[in-house]
Amino acid sequence: MNTAQTKFNISVTSEIGELEGVILHTPGLEIENMTPMNVERALYSDILNLSVANCEYKQLQGALAQVGEVFQIRSLLERTLQNSKVKQSLVERVCANEAAGEVQQRLLDMNDKELARCLIEGVLLQKNNLSRFLSHERYALKPLHNFFFTRDSAITIDNQVLIASMANKVRTREAMIMEAIFDFHPMFATRTINIPDSREFAGARIEGGDVLVVAENVLVIGIGARTTPQAVDFLIDYFCQNGQSKHIIVQELPHQPESFIHLDMVFTQLDRNICMIYEPVVLHPNMYRTVHIAIAGGEVAEIREEHNLLTALARLGIEFETISCGGSADLWTQEREQWHSGANFFAIAPGKIIGYRRNINTIEELDRKGFTIIDATDVAEKKVDLKNYNRCVITIDGSELSRGGGGCRCMTMPIRRRPV
């Protein structure tokens, strides 16, 4: 953890460049403060065991710490809240958004460390009148059950950070916190991008799991349950107004089942010319369209439909060999392992990736394709030197974390990578 106040320059121009900085959030009491009654509202399909989830998460964090600098959201937030004006503004915005005005002054009276904790873990409802006494709600300010999926609430594109417009209101506070950190933490000097609350972009929603920075001028964006066409329209408008040349490949996604919530649940990049895919969505003929938008000279130069995501990228000179989530032999196995984030890998360098070992068929397929299988604990304990491997897959336990509905890419927000 970098505690110095020197600036940390942000730059992400690929999915696979050697990792130099990443933001994580270690799961805390916020994921334990859940019952079967509110699990659906929390966007989970099951209740997680915190002690087991933390053991698995330590494997991820320990491996990443050997590669680049690891920053924790809670520590970043505590430092950001030392700015009294930021503290006042953030608390007011959060309470207004969540109709939690009764706790606003309580929050403002807290010290920075306690406030950061409460903004993440929630604030209990004081049963001090009849309405509150009879209420079935436990929290005046609800816990952020999903915050350990740091990928979703902010997206690094080049040297800027796009603040997500979350699909579910229960996650809006995550984006507010990330915006405050990037705008006001003294370590960062970046420009945040926000979708305006205007009629033109009404209904615009975008989350980081749907955005892949494939190259400096190429974005791949999934639209479906969490990201809308209106958000892509905003980015088109933004790039045009700023004179940036970009190719945006848009991939429609199924809205059901819930394992398809983001593009990175069916497509992730592993190396310069290798990607992991869930075949039925990415390759098989289906009703989900692929659209290529070319932006140049401050305008949309071309917009056209493509055969599929891979052919669209190939037309830009980015050709991928594919590895199938669950292997290629059995559709049921593919479906089962995709459900447990079998296509969701996080690259720490070209050809060096992290994923769940529970997806046995996917890991075996990677092994057959030349990826050496390495245990994350061995990386964390420096028993292996990743420099000795051309391609490898670092595996972490995922029996509990995967039940939260995401994988290693979901749990990581890279803020700096070396250029490829």
- Name all domains of the chain by residue range, CATH numbers in brackets: 19-68+147-417 (3.75.10.10)
Confidence of residue 46 (pLDDT cuts 50, 70, 90): low
Quote the CA–CA distance of 61 and 72 in Å, as a whole number.
10
d(CA 420, CA 403): 33
Residue at token pair 């066409």: 229
- CA dihedral sign, ordered 375, 340, 170, 201: positive
Take residue 138 and report the two structure tokens written for it. Answer: 């436990």
**pLDDT value, residue 284:** 76
pLDDT at 330: 87
List the single range of 74-83, 203-212, 217-226, 398-407 with lowest mean pLDDT. 398-407
Residues 6+ apart with CB under 8 A from 129: none
pLDDT at 2: 45
Q: What is the pLDDT of residues 220-231, one digit of tens each?
A: 999 999 999 999
Q: What is the pLDDT of residue 24?
A: 98
Using the predicted structure, report yes or no on whether residue 383 has a pLDDT greater than 60: yes
Statement: residue 290 has pLDDT above 90: yes
Share of the chain above pLDDT 70, in %: 95
Query: Is residue 12 within 8 Å of residue 101, measured between CB atoms?
Result: no
**Does the structure show a pLDDT above 70 at 318?**
yes
Q: What's the rounded mean pLDDT across residues 114-138?
A: 89
The rounded distance, in Å, linking the Cα atoms of 99 and 119 is: 14
Q: At residue 6, does pLDDT exceed 80?
A: yes
Instruction: Provide the pLDDT for residue 32.
Output: 80
Which ranges in 48-206 belong to alpha helices (H)?
50-65, 73-80, 84-97, 104-108, 112-121, 130-134, 172-184
Distance between CA 59 and CA 378 in Å, rounded? 9
Q: How far apart are CA 222 and CA 203, in angstroms?
A: 16
Q: For the purposes of burial, counting CB atoms within 10 Å of the CB of 47, is it exposed (0-12), middle (13-18) or buried (19 or more)?
A: middle
Question: According to the model, what pLDDT value does residue 185 have?
Answer: 97
Q: Is the pLDDT of residue 385 over 70?
A: yes
Is the Cα torsion angle 224, 229, 230, 233 positive or negative in sign?
positive
Token pair in block for residue 227: 């990201």
- How does residue 4 score in pLDDT terms, banded at 50, 70 and 90? very low
* Main-chain dihedrals φ then ψ at residue 123, nearest 5 degrees: -130, 125
Amino acid code (one letter) for 357 = R
Distances (CA, A) of 368 to 11, 55, 125, 363: 33, 29, 54, 9
Looking at every residue in the chain, the average pLDDT score rounds to 93
Q: How far apart are CA 219 and CA 249, in angstroms?
A: 6
pLDDT tens by residue, 192-223: 999 998 888 989 999 999 999 999 999 999 99
Q: What is the pLDDT at residue 45?
A: 58
- 26-41: per-residue pLDDT in tens? 999 988 876 655 555 5
